[in-house]
Chains A and B, each alone.
Chain A
Amino acid sequence: MAQIIIKNLRKDFGAFTAVQSSSFTIEDGEFFMLLGPSGCGKTTTLRMIAGLELPSSGEIYIDGQEVSQKPARQRDIAFVFQMFALYPHMNVRKNISYPLVSQGMARAKVRAKVAEVAEILGITSILEKPVGGLSGGDRQRVALGRAIVRDPACFLMDEPLGALDAEFREHMALELRALHDRMGATTVYVTHDQLEAMQMGDKIVVMNHGVVEQFGRPQDIYDWPATSFVARFIGSPAMNLLEFQGIIEPGNSFVALSDTQIEIPEVVQGGRGGLSLGVRPEHVHLDDGAPYRGRITASEYLGTTQIITLDCAHGAIKARISADTAVQIGQTTGMRFDARSITLFNRDGQALMSKANQKVLSHG
């Protein structure tokens, strides 16, 4: 059980800054995601929490204790890597027992502890098997078992599901989350997969180029991105960003796209020059009576829904609509945007504060 506080954390490798100045708090018992593209600094952040890298500056508190300059073995954590490394010459039981045996725990106690962990993971029946013949899922469970058995204050996981195929990854994601719910240990989890982050996380930190772009609950980040990077990175397909020139004053609740007035949530922070209007694909509705128009160029069937691509005055727009709606490629149609869901971004990619997003952005 642990609360982890990260304060102004920075890591330089020579002239390269991997992490610039990260600050966020991981509450006790949370399943916490570090999300971003490769090279964003998420793994470096995790390794600093683990004590595998020492920060250039900044602080890390685990349960109130400042640990940033302490080596890994003095922190009460367990690390699960992407490539689950098992001892190939040992059976499942010995692999899981290993951390306890090397701590010098009494044999009877080790047996009891391993039995308990095997039960949680549903691998009691394979305890005496060699690890060589195990399926990918069972290998992953054994690797988890070896981490869990020590009862650490927190788990750190670096893309533990990254090597698995899609179908199986989905299954293991649910299993991991259910395991967390049973054990309640603080878990910090690195991934580049936004869906995995949304699906499993209580909170998400989105990183890019060593900078924390946003920190908060998954649905808040999805609905109210703080930057255009987050808008594009979270969601599949990404949020549509329509670039336009304009002046927005506090109190405005319309913007002009070409000659069309588009309703937006009332802004409390103005902006001018190169702006963009962000709208999620599921908030774009085809409506032949609407004045903002585009030509349908593609339709992608997804079972429940379909993704329509439209060519518009401000670039390509994607709309997620019901799979039952028949559409004609090449046809021109009108579009309506859900006014309440729109976010505006300034030239630097920062979201303009509005009546709709201010609650999320002011504490993020």
Chain B
Amino acid sequence: MADVILSGVSKSFGAIRALSDLSITVPDGSFVVLLGPTGAGKTTTLRMVAGLDSPDHGSVMIGGVSMEGFTPAQRNVAMVFQQYSLYPHMTVRENMEFPLKSPLLRTPPDQVARKVAEVAEILQISHKLDNRATALSGGEMQRVSIGRALVRNPAVYLMDEPLSSLDAKLRADLRVELKNIQANLGATFLYVTHDQIEAMTMATHVGVLNQGRLVQFGTPREIYENPVSIYSAGRLGQPHINILPADLFGPAPKGATTIGLRPEQIMQGQGQDSVVKRIEYLGDQTRLHLIFKGHELVTLTETHTTLKTGDIVQITTHRPFYFDANGVRISPSSVTQNNIA
């Protein structure tokens, strides 16, 4: 296992600038999730580390060694793509054995068998080992391609939305499994997703990307509780953080244009009147859509609330976030900064 350091990496494809002076350190043994919407530069970053693309400027180091001029094979990384790519003429077992049988590794046969069995068990595909790869469902094929990465012992695992094509139940199971595998192996994972649940539950660190730049790096809790900007704040949290005019609830700090409120930052039963617009029952949580001084906001309430459309709810804020005209957080002096340059 190894750390990965990208320094000042830029990459353009024609007129499109995919990465702008991106610097990020993936510590040895960490599970780093890159989060951002389509086009933020997540996949490009992964491809830089894998060696599938090379930077226009800047450097990529794995385990302290510069990767300049190294082919993907020479980098000792294992990559899982969103779209599975299996050898169609081979069985599941042969597909999973393939990386271990590489002439570079020369793994003894009993060790190959043991490793494949172990990984197949974790991914719930033991009963499919002798099936043809093409005789599997999409979800099973994706598990085989994850399996093919896991049987190896690379310097770093690179994963590009590996769970997005799986159904909800399996996705939830594999989230926990992947996290356990990573923690038990002490492996370094660089993982790309736009699913915030995956980011929150698996990551030791989240890197928030915006237009090819890293805008915040920290634990999921740091990013949720102490976002550096509206953009960062909006990446985590369901329901989405409410962004409203800064002085809507009363005087705002100097320079503040907007106030940011997560459900935890809205107290009910005291303060000023708002009107219930709609109640959304989601089972484990119930969302309250409120109209406050002409603005709509969303918060949570008791699962079996008796509130209904048109009712009045008093609300006030509790330790809200404030942002300036550029969407940058105005930090209260009591809160320590954990943002990066």
Q: Which residues from A are CB-within-8-Å of B167?
A: 37-38, 192
Write the A284-309 contact mask toward B (1 if CB under 8 angstroms, else 0): 00000000000000101111100101
Q: Indicate whether B330 reaches chain A with its CB closer than 8 angstroms.
A: no
Beyond A238-B169, A300-B176, A300-B201, whether A198 also contacts B194 by CB under 8 A is no
Q: How far is the CA of A282 from the CA of B284 in the complex (A)?
A: 7
Instruction: Provide the residues of chain B in CB contact with A223, threshold 8 Å.
Output: 283
Question: In this assembly, does A237 line the interface, its C-beta being within 8 Å of a C-beta of chain B?
Answer: yes
Taking CB atoms, residues of chain A closer than 8 Å to B38 are 165
Interface membership of chain B positions 196-226, coded 1 if the CB is closer than 8 angstroms to chain A and 0 otherwise:
1100110000000000000000001100100
Q: Is A280 an interface residue (CB 8 A)?
A: yes
In residues 250-279 of chain B, which contact A (Cβ within 8 Å)? Answer: 262-264
Which of B37, B197, B283 is within 8 Å of A219, CB to CB?
B283
Query: With a CB–CB cut-off of 8 A, which chain A residues contact B307?
Result: none
Q: How far is the CA of A194 from the CA of B264 in the complex (A)?
A: 25
CA separation between A343 and B169, bound complex, in Å?
21
**How far is it, in angstroms, between the C-alpha of A301 and the C-alpha of B33 when the chains are bound?**
14
Flag A188-215 by CB within 8 Å of B: 1 or 0 each. 0000111100110000000000000000
Q: Give the distance to chain A from B267, nearest Cβ to Cβ, in Å.
A: 14
Contacts of A38 in B (CB 8 A): 167
Q: Are B282 and A198 in contact (CB under 8 A)?
A: yes
A303 touching B283 in the complex, CB below 8 Å, given contacts A38-B167, A238-B169, A298-B176: no
- From known contacts A298-B176, A301-B201, infer whether A198 and B283 are also in contact, taking CB-CB under 8 Å: yes
Q: Is A303 within 8 A of B303, CB to CB?
A: no
Do A237 and B172 touch across chains, with their CB atoms under 8 A apart?
yes
Residues 237-275 of A contacting B (Cβ, < 8 Å): 237-238
Interface residues of B in 29-83 (CB under 8 A from A): 37-38
Check B283–A304 contact: CB distance below 8 A: no
B169 touches A232 (CB 8 A): yes
Say whether B221 contacts A301, CB under 8 Å.
yes
The minimal Cβ–Cβ distance linking B290 to chain A, given in whole angstroms, is: 14
Q: In this assembly, does A234 line the interface, its C-beta being within 8 Å of a C-beta of chain B?
A: yes
Q: Is B186 an interface residue when CB atoms closer than 8 A count as contact?
A: no
A166 and B235 alpha carbons, distance in the complex (Å): 11
Residues of A within 8 A of B21 (CB): none
B236 at interface, CB cutoff 8 A: yes
Q: Flag if A302 contacts B197 (CB, 8 Å).
A: yes
Check A167 for interface membership: any CB of B closer than 8 A.
yes
A280 touches B200 (CB 8 A): no
Is B96 part of the contact surface with A, judged by Cβ < 8 Å? no
Cα(A307)–Cα(B281), bound, Å: 20
B283 engages A302 (CB within 8 Å):
no
B236 close to A303 (CB less than 8 A): yes
Which residues of chain B from 164 to 192 have any CB-CB distance to chain A below 8 Å in the complex? 167-169, 172, 175-176, 179-180
A280 near B284 (CB under 8 angstroms)?
yes
Known: A300-B200, A301-B201. A235 touches B168 (CB 8 A): no
Contacts of B237 in A (CB 8 A): 303-304
CA of A301 to CA of B221, assembled, Å = 8
Chain B interface residue number, banded: 20 to 34
Alpha-carbon gap, A320 to B195, bound state (A) = 20
Pick from B37, B284, B300: contact of A167, CB under 8 Å: B37
User: CB distance B281 to A198 under 8 Å?
Assistant: yes
Q: Using a Cβ cutoff of 8 Å, how many contacts connect chains A and B?
A: 78
Please state if A234 and B195 are interface contacts (CB–CB under 8 Å): no
- Residues in A with CB closer than 8 Å to B201 are 300-302, 307
Count A-side interface residues using an 8 Å CB cutoff.
Answer: 36
Is the pair B197, A281 in contact by a Cβ cutoff of 8 Å?
Answer: no
Bound complex: CA A129 to CA B24 (Å): 41
Q: Which residues of B contact A278 (CB under 8 A)?
A: none
**Residue among B236, B238, B282 facing the most chain A CB atoms (10 A cut-off):** B282
Q: From A218, which residue of chain B is reached at the shortest CB distance?
A: B281
Q: How far is the CA of A198 from the CA of B282 in the complex (A)?
A: 5
Residues of B within 8 A of A298 (CB): 176, 179-180
Contact A236 B303 (CB under 8 A): no
Give the shortest distance, in Å, between B265 (CB) and chain A (any CB).
11
Contact of B132 with A by CB under 8 A = no
List A contacts of B280 (CB < 8 A).
Answer: 199
Nearest to B286 among chain A residues (CB) is A219
Q: Is there an interface contact between B264 and A218, defined as CB atoms closer than 8 Å?
A: no
What is the minimal beta-carbon distance from B121 to any residue of chain A, in angstroms? Answer: 16
- Chain B contacts of A218 at CB under 8 A? 281, 283
Residue of B nearest to A193 (CB): B168
In the complex, what residues of B have CB within 8 A of residue A193's CB?
A: 168
Residues in A with CB closer than 8 Å to B304 are: 219
Q: When the two chains form their complex, are residues A195 and B282 in contact, meaning their CB atoms are under 8 A apart?
A: yes
Contacts of B128 in A (CB 8 A): none
Tell me if B169 and A304 are in contact (CB < 8 A): no
- Docked Cα-Cα span, A194 to B171, in Å, equals 14
| A357 CB → nearest B CB, Å | 14
Complex Cα distance A237/B220, Å?
19
- Whether A219 lies near B200 (C-beta < 8 A) is no
* Interface membership of A12, Cβ < 8 A: no
CA of A301 to CA of B71, assembled, Å? 37
Q: With A165-B38, A194-B168 given, is the CB distance from A301 to B220 under 8 Å?
A: yes
Q: Answer whether residue A170 sits at the interface, using C-beta atoms and an 8 A cutoff.
A: yes
B176 touches A309 (CB 8 A): yes
One of B169, B195, B224 near A303 (C-beta < 8 A)? B224
Q: Is A222 an interface residue (CB 8 A)?
A: yes
When chains A and B are docked, how far (Å) is the Cα of A166 from the Cα of B195?
A: 7
B240 at the interface (CB under 8 A from A): yes
Tell me, in angstroms, the Cα distance from A259 to B201 when the chains sit together: 34
Query: What 12 additional pairs, Cβ within 8 angstroms, besides A166-B195, A219-B281?
Result: A165-B38, A167-B37, A192-B168, A193-B168, A195-B282, A199-B280, A218-B283, A222-B281, A236-B168, A298-B176, A300-B200, A302-B200
Q: List 13 A-B contacts (CB under 8 A).
A: A166-B196, A167-B194, A170-B238, A194-B168, A199-B282, A219-B304, A222-B284, A223-B283, A235-B283, A236-B284, A280-B283, A300-B175, A303-B200
- Interface residues of chain B, those whose CB is within 8 Å of chain A, are 37-38, 167-169, 172, 175-176, 179-180, 194-197, 200-201, 220-221, 224, 236-238, 240, 262-264, 280-284, 300, 303-304
Q: Which 6 A-B pairs have the closest CB atoms?
A: A222-B283, A300-B201, A219-B281, A303-B224, A198-B282, A282-B284
